[in-house]
Amino acid sequence: MNNNRFEGKVCIVTGAAQGIGEGVARAIAKEGGMMVLADRSELVYQVANELESNGSQVLVVTSDLESFGGAKSVVDKAVEHFGRVDVAIHNVGGTIWAKPFEQYQEDEIIKEINRSLYPTLWGCRAVLPQMISQGGGSIVNISSIATRGVNRIPYSAAKGGVNAITVSLAMEHASENIRVNAIATGGTEAPPRKIPRNSNPMTEDEKVWYQQIVDQTIDSTLMKRYGTIEEQVNAILFLASDEASYITGTILPVGGGDKGMGA
């Protein structure tokens, strides 16, 4: 494998403060990428400081990526600092509640869509003009096999939207040398979140409903286990890199054989 796939490339990674986003940022930096780390949490500076101490060029942008203004500020600052954007990996999202659909309140449904659809929608809209003007680029959106699953219907709807955005954008912009792909992540083992998506402790019912998600995920997965962050990162980096130069409009399930609705 080429260990310098991102040498000289300017790479935006959103949601870079923790989890898969942090893993992607560390891996791309290790392969020579110039990093633009975006997150609304100040914790992203800890990741940036570590990467800089290892010799990487890093720009941090703290922004609310649920808004177009926030997404555009990331691209604007990236271009101002580095002059271009070669890779954009849109990673922000994640289910906030775990419950049957009839238990969701209106404001909770709106918050789920805002969290898991808009950061990718706005991120793509913000970076496209720059990639068009410079003659190409690679976008990788992070979706989920949970487009088919239980107890998180609003999240499933949002990730179904991410899949539609990905395929349609690939069709619109292939002639401009812009590749657009997505990874549909499966259940992934990760350290406890530094900032929880839901600050309220789960009720007893919510614990049962969440366990149903875990059980359904493992049951649907041929390998009968959760994946690792590294296994997700490896797939993301492949699609983002020139090794996938003839791949676009593809949603790659990385779920141990559970394809969700991504195949």
155 counts as catalytic: yes
Quote the Cα angle for 88-29-27, to 5°: 85
Looking at 45, 104, 118, 155, which residue is catalytic?
155
Catalytic residues: 155
